[in-house]
A and B are shown apart, each in its own frame.
Chain A
């Protein structure tokens, strides 16, 4: 987490410093907290965060200061939510169909399932994709947009790297991160509730 003290600084300096800190985090993302002394600076920071597609929040602090928290990238958002108040729900999807029976029906059902998942509030903290489930995060997936909505809502999307290598679709993964088995195990172990599909 990066902390910026912008008390006494006037716009656009708090915004510039925060933006630089966010950019310095690169792809991995992270959390920046900024302390400002006026609500207009808070509004300008949140305007930037929203414009850049980041989640943000703020809290009143002592001396009339305001602490703005901006979360860049999905990962950190959910780690925080999981430890604080998030749903604690992890969904593990190991196949590209849902249930036993017709494959065609199974594909319709899994698409419906993921669509419904992204309507869930609060959203799952993590959704894991492995084995043929890996196809669902690839550019060939007709659920890709729904998975992206999940990611935008703060859900961490992890796809098994061994699986994407095996199927030769690593380059096609269109959302979230590639994960190893250790990531998958620790995520499952840390779940408050786990749905296995």
Chain B
């Protein structure tokens, strides 16, 4: 098989433009005002939500990146799972998807077929339909989806509306960025790689479906910005999030790799971005790195009232056994994130 990675300078969500850099340019764009636009990009939420009528809104998102794995079909699945995830993180259900494809002219088309097949598998699994797409030549292969879903406008899970007293749940293990970095350095063991690949291909559909019967204060999905950046976004101005580093779910080998400094550039960018917003306490270095680790197709990170958090966790654990309560929500403190 041809090597997808040899064509890439960076892959997966680690290739995202840094959160600090991005906000510098987004700031300069006009704010579009339309009362039907329930969630726009000014909220830095996961997807846009546009109201159609009293009971129906559409949720729309787009996501694509270059390969972070060599296997074309797995890459396709990961890219699609990642793109679909934003719909789930808002509380919606995907309806249809369009392929976005960039592909080198000189590369064999067979691999592209594999990528698209992998993506189509995930669209099917999501219960959505593939209805077209757009493809161009590019130096590096890239793939993703534009996804449109349906959502109840009265039940939108915003990413920055947790309530003090809530508990925080993370549905997937952290560490996929570290494991893929170890793989790049040819220092990862097979079991860790399989765990990371499984996690990245896993749709957030199943956790989101369990969440539908519970009150959810806030929800987002973890991306290349890492857990802490999303936690900061969730905390907003009104609350601070306490995270329990010792409770975090992670791919077990990731800690050892972090201890060996198998770290991505994205994790360091995330660390720089979060400087001054996190009270690290005496959190060990490796756990810090897990929280800065860029996640490709990461899990859902959600805030739910304490009275039902344990029950919700149990429900989610039926489909995501590694899910855990990883923190709680306080009224705003000196810093948006405290580690205890």
- Report B-chain residues with C-beta under 8 Å of the C-beta of A51: 261, 285
Number of interface residues of B (CB under 8 A): 17
**Quick check: A12 and B268 within 8 Å, CB to CB?**
no
From the candidates A10, A12, A40, name the one contacting B262 in the complex (CB within 8 A): A12
- Report A-chain residues with C-beta under 8 Å of the C-beta of B285: 51
**Quick check: A47 and B268 within 8 Å, CB to CB?**
yes
- Smallest CB-CB separation from A43: which chain B residue? B268
Q: How far is the CB of B79 from chain A (nearest CB, A)?
A: 20
- Smallest CB-CB separation from B269: which chain A residue? A40
Q: How far is the CB of B224 from chain A (nearest CB, A)?
A: 14
Q: Mark A137-159, 1 if CB is under 8 A from B, else 0.
A: 00000000000000000000000
Among A34-48, those with CB < 8 Å from B are 38, 40-41, 43-44, 47-48
Number of interface residues of A (CB under 8 A): 15
Cβ of A188 within 8 Å of any chain B Cβ, yes or no, is no
- Smallest CB-CB separation from B285: which chain A residue? A51
**Quick check: A16 and B268 within 8 Å, CB to CB?**
no
- Smallest CB-CB separation from B8: which chain A residue? A10
Majority DSSP secondary structure for residues of A touching B: helix
Cβ of B145 within 8 Å of any chain A Cβ, yes or no, is no
From the candidates B260, B268, B272, name the one contacting A11 in the complex (CB within 8 A): B268
CA distance A16 to B257 in the complex (A): 11
**Quick check: A13 and B265 within 8 Å, CB to CB?**
no
**Quick check: A44 and B261 within 8 Å, CB to CB?**
yes
**Quick check: B185 and A13 within 8 Å, CB to CB?**
yes
- Smallest CB-CB separation from B257: which chain A residue? A12
- Report B-chain residues with C-beta under 8 Å of the C-beta of A44: 261, 263, 265, 268
**Quick check: A47 and B9 within 8 Å, CB to CB?**
no
Q: A12-B184, A13-B184 are in contact. Are A38 and B260 (CB under 8 A)?
A: no
- Report A-chain residues with C-beta under 8 Å of the C-beta of B9: 10
Cβ of A15 within 8 Å of any chain B Cβ, yes or no, is yes
Among B165-220, those with CB < 8 Å from A are 181-182, 184-185, 187
Some 13 contacts from A to B, beta carbons below 8 A apart, are A10-B10, A11-B181, A11-B263, A11-B265, A12-B261, A13-B184, A15-B261, A16-B261, A16-B262, A40-B268, A44-B263, A44-B268, A48-B261
Task: Please name the 5 residue pairs, one residue from A and one from B, whose CB atoms are nearest each other, closest first.
Answer: A48-B261, A11-B265, A40-B265, A16-B185, A12-B181
A binding-site residues for B, Cβ under 8 Å: 10-13, 15-16, 19, 38, 40-41, 43-44, 47-48, 51
B binding-site residues for A, Cβ under 8 Å: 9-10, 181-182, 184-185, 187, 260-265, 268-269, 272, 285
Since A12-B185, A44-B261 are in contact, a sample of 14 more A-B pairs with Cβ atoms closer than 8 Å, ordered by chain A residue number, is A10-B10, A11-B181, A12-B184, A12-B261, A12-B262, A12-B263, A15-B263, A16-B185, A16-B262, A19-B260, A40-B269, A41-B265, A48-B261, A51-B285
